Amino acid sequence: MNSIIAILQLLPELIKAIEGLIPGDGKGEQKLALLRQWIESANAELGPLWPQIAAAAGLLVKVFNLLGVFKKA
C-alpha cells in the first residue's frame, strides 16, 4: 500500500519528467509505456494496479493540458 501511495505522490513529477524527455503531441502511447516501465522497475508488485495508475496519469495529463503546463508546438 505504501508503494502505491508513493507512486501517486510522485506521479505528477514523473509525468513532467517524461514530457521533458519526449516532448510533443501524438506520442502519448510512448510516454505511457515509459511511465509503466519506470513504475514497474521501481516496484514490480504495482503491475496489477497499472489500470488505476494509468487512469490517474490520464487525468493529470488532462489537467496539465488545461492549465497550459505542457507547451504545444
Domain boundaries along the sequence of the chain: 2-67
What pTM does this model have?
Answer: 0.85
**How much helix, strand and coil, in percent to the nearest 5, is found in the chain?**
80, 0, 20
Buried b (16+ CB within 10 A) or exposed e, 12-28: bebbeebbeeeeeeeee
| pLDDT at residue 28 in the model | 92
User: Please, which pLDDT band fits residue 41 given cuts at 50, 70 and 90?
Assistant: very high
